[in-house]
Amino acid sequence: GKDWRDLQCRVAEILQECGLVAETAKTIATARGKTEVDVYAVDPTTTPESLYLCECKRWASRVPQGEVQTFRTVVADAGAHFGLFISAQGFQSGAHKVVQHTNIHLLDWEAFQRLFRERWCETFWVPTVTSRADMLAGHVVLPANDAMIRHA
């Protein structure tokens, strides 16, 4: 079934395809002791490396402010650079106030994908398409189109 673990795996997959090193259901040490995060991701392309913590909720209702506050505390206590809270159904109105002027982003699935779309295209899609095209180029003679023939 499509549950929160599925959302968690998709989030980790997209981050990995963007060049981050991502793990799901990771127990981390924070200033207040150990806690488990849905997705833990490190961006090795930044100096210093950026740490992302992600919370994934696939609830039938909007996520309340209290859940967001708890996540904000975890992100701060872990010293993470970014906190991404991904909710299938969005958030209750008060939740957005809680994260104003913080490094926490409240996102639905579409917004999460938009946030990483450009990087995903550069890191994953273009190299994949290019390598497949290179493979094809060795085996297939592509037909010349009319425009190419006219300009020859």
Token pair, residue 93, equals 């109105």
- The pLDDT assigned to 142 comes to 52
The CATH fold assigned to 4-151 is: Trna Endonuclease; Chain: A, domain 1 (3.40.1350)
Segments making up each domain of the chain, as ranges: 4-151
Alpha helix ranges (H) inside the chain: 4-17, 65-78, 93-98, 109-120, 126-137, 146-151
From first to last of its 152 residues, the chain has per-residue pLDDT tens of 467 678 999 999 999 988 999 999 999 999 999 999 999 999 998 889 999 999 999 999 999 999 999 999 999 999 999 999 999 999 999 999 999 999 999 999 999 999 888 877 787 666 666 666 665 555 555 555 555 555 54
Tokens 């997705």, located at residue: 39
| Cα 133 to Cα 140: distance, rounded to the nearest angstrom | 10
Dihedral angle, C-alpha 96, 97, 103, 105, nearest 10 °: 0
Q: pTM, whole model, 2 decimals?
A: 0.79
Closest to 57 in 3D by CA, of 2, 7, 113: 7
Tell me the C-alpha distance between 56 and 81, whole Å: 17
Peptide bond preceding 143: is omega within 30 degrees of 0, i.e. cis? no
Q: Are 7 and 56 in contact (CB under 8 A)?
A: yes
Contact 56, 11 (CB under 8 A): yes
